[in-house]
Structure 1
Amino acid sequence: MTISFDPIVFKRTTRAQWEEAAEAWHRWGPTIEDWLGEATAVMLRAAAIGDGDRVLDVAAGAGGQTLAAARLVGPAGRVLATDISPAILEYAARVASEAGLSSVQTLEADGEDLFELEEGSFDAAISRVGLIYFPDQQAALTGIHRALRPGGRFSAVVYSTPDRNGFFSIPVGIIRRRAELPAPAPGQPGPFSLGSPGVAEKAFSAAGFHDVTVTTVPSPVRLPTAADCVRFERESFGALHQMLSRLDASDRAAAWQEITSDLTQFETPTGFTGPCEMLVITGTR
């Protein structure tokens, strides 16, 4: 079966899926921060964020990393959280307000079209597991590069390769097989689109970034059971729902059952530990 990739349709369905998953992504916030906390800390250090800085957060989601950046910039700084989903930005704005972080602002924006932002108006930019899902990653990188001042850094968290990310690659593989979906071609969006050696470095360099570095961060997903991991992914991973959309209800249920069975291989007497490895890619304008 041949399925052509339509970036416009992909972006439209991505927005719809994140509108639907926004509440769950927010609700699973503590689990997400436990899982991505170390990679987030590495990203923020690599971006060299400090007191009073202006920070652009691209594909910010519910804002866990937004809040972390806001604490670093302090009341004199500014963090602009952008996302294609207005619903998920509402959660980011709410948690920032509840935390008393007045430096956080939100903007519904397509990460591939940031040209309404003033050129050179940010000291740093970040993106946590967002850049990988952009159909035109080069447009996104070029826009981020333009928004940074000379010497400003952009740092992004992305997945490495499928073999290092069994907690996610196993569900993706099962769904892809059941839905008869081809593997994404080079350059197409997907969770592992920037994970292969040299791919992210090449993309950053093509957008004008220099001194590009890659830091590997082990990021295991720890939950009580495999079933808990499946519930986490089922409720809040928009990419999986997008892939499942071609299956009817019974076939979707069968896919989740198979995923749960396969993920039990990562259960231990002390709980579930799903293999995950993140890369922190950083470049300087």
Structure 2
Amino acid sequence: MTSTGIGSVFDSAATEYAEVSPLLWDRIGEATVTAAQIQPGERVLDVCCGAGASAIPAAQATGPQGQVDAIDLAAELLAQGRRRAALEGLDNARFIQADATTWEPHEGHLYDVVQCVHGVFLLPDMDASASRLAGLLRSGGRLVITTWAEGAIEDLGRLFTEAVERVRDVQIGPPPSKQAVSRIDTEQKLVAWLTARGLTQVTVTRAPLRIPLDPMLSWRIALGSGFRGMLTGLDEFTVERVRTTFQHLRSERKMDELDATSLVGTGISE
């Protein structure tokens, strides 16, 4: 999927994204900022920032003397982030529509922290993109990458994919991001991958998260995530058939809980 396509998917998911954020995205964002140990006065780049789940707590941590540049391709999510920052009185957070693969720091000022929560595996050429992001850090700065732990969110994605396949009578197969995620979904893999990006003193923090599911919440989470891309181009009648099929499968398989455990990897730039 192109960068424009990814932005469009998350723009269409904006409403549901906001609805599930307090239970899902915000909790992961807060865990990321805690692991990043952001200090007052630091300059932070938040890549694939969405509606600010990690950018908002980062702006709170760095305080009025610091700065958070939050970038994403999804205009609707960025608008949510700006509203959240305004409500929190955070003048130090800028939400900017920009491509992470071409972003340059303002006036060449490098960052103390570059963080990317559940977005690095969506970037074209994950290895090259992450290495480029590491290059935006000052010496001694931290690159912080949050990804799904092995097995996390897979059951939901598998059921959603099966529902779409049954309704459309097609074989979809796993998205390209699935292979990328599988390369960094354990502590050992993530340490090795960040080390290969030229980072030192790499540590990984596991952030357990399990969310009880009911029919409404499970559907909203599916629609408020990248899984929504599988519905692109479908009319309302077909989407409703997917929803009905998805809920039938969820009930049949007794999936009453979502494992949304994340891994937060942090490495130091030389």
TM-score, normalised to structure 2, is 0.84
The answer on 1:32 being equivalent to 2:32 is: no
Secondary structure of the corresponding residue to residue 125 of structure 1:
strand
Secondary structure of the corresponding residue to residue 33 of structure 1:
coil
Which residue of structure 2 aligns with residue 214 of structure 1? 204
Shift of 1:161: 2.5
Q: Sort the Cα spacing of 1:16 and 1:59 in 2 relative to 1 into closer, same or farther, 3 A.
A: same
Shift of 1:241: 2.4
Secondary structure of the corresponding residue to residue 96 of structure 1:
helix
Q: Mark the runs of 5 or more structure 1 residues left unpaired by the alignment.
A: 1-8, 268-272
Q: Sort the Cα spacing of 1:64 and 1:187 in 2 relative to 1 into closer, same or farther, 3 A.
A: closer
Contact 1:59 1:82 in 2 (8 A): yes
Shift of 1:130: 1.6
Secondary structure of the corresponding residue to residue 141 of structure 2:
strand
How many residue pairs end up in the alignment? 264
For the aligned residue pairs, the C-alpha RMSD in angstroms reads 2.8
Shift of 1:107: 1.9
How far apart, in 2, do the equivalents of 1:186 and 1:158 lie? 11
Secondary structure of the corresponding residue to residue 266 of structure 1:
coil
Shift of 1:169: 2.9
How far apart, in 1, do the equivalents of 2:177 and 2:54 lie? 28
How far apart, in 2, do the equivalents of 1:276 and 1:185 lie? 20
Contact 2:122 2:177 in 1 (8 A): no
The answer on 1:68 being equivalent to 2:57 is: yes
The answer on 1:124 being equivalent to 2:113 is: yes
Aligned partner of 1:13 among 5, 16, 20: 5
Secondary structure of the corresponding residue to residue 282 of structure 1:
strand
How far apart, in 1, do the equivalents of 2:55 and 2:100 lie? 16
Contact 1:118 1:147 in 2 (8 A): no
The answer on 1:284 being equivalent to 2:261 is: no
Contact 1:132 1:194 in 2 (8 A): no
How far apart, in 1, do the equivalents of 2:217 and 2:172 lie? 26
Contact 2:4 2:73 in 1 (8 A): no
**Letter aligned with residue 282 of structure 1:** T
The answer on 1:244 being equivalent to 2:200 is: no
Q: Mark the runs of 5 or more structure 2 residues left unpaired by the alignment.
A: none
How far apart, in 2, do the equivalents of 1:78 and 1:170 lie? 39
Contact 1:35 1:220 in 2 (8 A): no
Shift of 1:156: 2.2
Which residue of structure 2 aligns with residue 181 of structure 1? 172
Shift of 1:12: 2.3
How far apart, in 2, do the equivalents of 1:183 and 1:57 lie? 27
The answer on 1:257 being equivalent to 2:254 is: no
User: Residue deviations 1:111-156, cap 9 Å, x none?
Assistant: 2222455656111121222222212212321222111111111212
The answer on 1:195 being equivalent to 2:179 is: no
Aligned partner of 1:205 among 177, 184, 195: 195
Contact 1:47 1:125 in 2 (8 A): no
Q: Sort the Cα spacing of 1:15 and 1:151 in 2 relative to 1 into closer, same or farther, 3 A.
A: same
Contact 2:202 2:265 in 1 (8 A): yes
